[in-house]
Amino acid sequence: MSESPHHTPLLPALYVVATPIGNLGDITLRALDILQRVDRVAAEDTRVSGQLLAHFNISKPLISVREHNERKAADSVVARIVAGDAVAYVSDAGTPAVSDPGARLVAAVRAAGLRVVPIPGASAVTAALSAAGVESGAWLFHGFLPPRSGARRTALQGLATLPVALVFYEAPHRIEETLADMAAVLDSRRAVTLARELTKRFETIVTLPLSDAPAWLAADPNNVRGEFVVVVHPPMTEAAIDTEAMRVLDILQVALPPPLAAKLAAQITGRSKAELYKMSLALKPHQQDEA
């Protein structure tokens, strides 16, 4: 009979363990197994991770590996693995080294020729994308944008023409400024999914035009609370924009004369009023025939 995996000693390695981003029920069975079996746990914040371990009745020596001490702490972790220890690394929430400390630690362990074992689980990026409905499937994760508006707009300008969804993290105290900059720099007709407080009690996920996002935030003080994942959907293709413009124009000119229908359709879709007026004249006779 083979030995139970739970009683098999872990090989010396760094085990990068994803932890819940809010709902503790999202911890995986494998994560619990690894945390119970490692020799020690390296953590972004030992107080936060200590509470998580205590919740699951796990007691392990903790090593602090924060952003400001990561290089020095990495040397200590490497030495422990060389000595034969199995060490887990956890961030405060979600998957370590994804817009969290941990990348330097992982790089140091790999540079030493030691093993790194990912223990996948909760991730705010994939949670938001799974609920955003990005049909193309192509996306780029940027993480946090610069805190100052000028640098933030410069970064957004560099991303504006990419034909993919753009995924960002943002803190509650900057979300209003960030969305205002996005609406100014990116095509404001692009859809955006705002996902706040994912997996928590007040989880909110909405999709709306980027131009409407600042107003949505302003509509309720609760809308700016909590950590955000912002998914800006891919730019509309010219063909898709023309199709949408035709749809809007077709609706408006049922009740409005061509000049006014074209003017309103241009304001809604951003297309040329002159082009839409020509379309309106082309459509009008066809509609009269159907009447």
Backbone phi, psi, residue 191, to 5°:
-75, 150
Confidence of residue 194 (pLDDT cuts 50, 70, 90): very high
Q: Look at residue 281 and tell me whether its pLDDT is greater than 90.
A: no
The number of CA neighbours under 13 Å toward the Cβ of 273 is: 7
pLDDT in tens, 64-84: 998 788 888 999 999 999 999
What is the spatial distance between Cα 271 and Cα 136, in angstroms, rounded to a whole number?
24
pLDDT for 284 equals 56
What is the spatial distance between Cα 62 and Cα 239, in angstroms, rounded to a whole number?
56
Question: Which alpha helices (DSSP H) does 14-95 contain, by range?
Answer: 29-37, 46-55, 70-82
pLDDT in tens, 113-140: 999 999 999 999 999 999 999 988 899 9
Window from 46-55, 157-166, 244-253 with minimum mean pLDDT: 244-253
What is the spatial distance between Cα 42 and Cα 134, in angstroms, rounded to a whole number?
35
What is the spatial distance between Cα 23 and Cα 246, in angstroms, rounded to a whole number?
45
Mean pLDDT on 14-19: 98
Q: Quick one: which of 84, 38, 29, 81 has its CA closest to 61?
A: 38
Confidence of residue 286 (pLDDT cuts 50, 70, 90): very low
pLDDT for 75 equals 94
The share of the chain scoring above pLDDT 90, in percent, equals 69
Q: Count H helices, E strands: the chain?
A: 11, 10
Of 98 and 169, the structure prediction assigns the larger pLDDT to 169
Bridge partner residues of 140 (DSSP): 166
The number of CA neighbours under 13 Å toward the Cβ of 181 is: 22
The predicted model scores a pTM of 0.79
pLDDT in tens, 215-262: 999 999 999 999 999 999 998 665 555 677 777 877 887 778 878 888
pLDDT for 263 equals 83
pLDDT for 240 equals 56
What is the spatial distance between Cα 287 and Cα 291, in angstroms, rounded to a whole number?
6
Q: Look at residue 195 and tell me whether its pLDDT is greater than 80.
A: yes
The share of the chain scoring above pLDDT 70, in percent, equals 90
Amino acid residing at 91: S
pLDDT for 146 equals 96
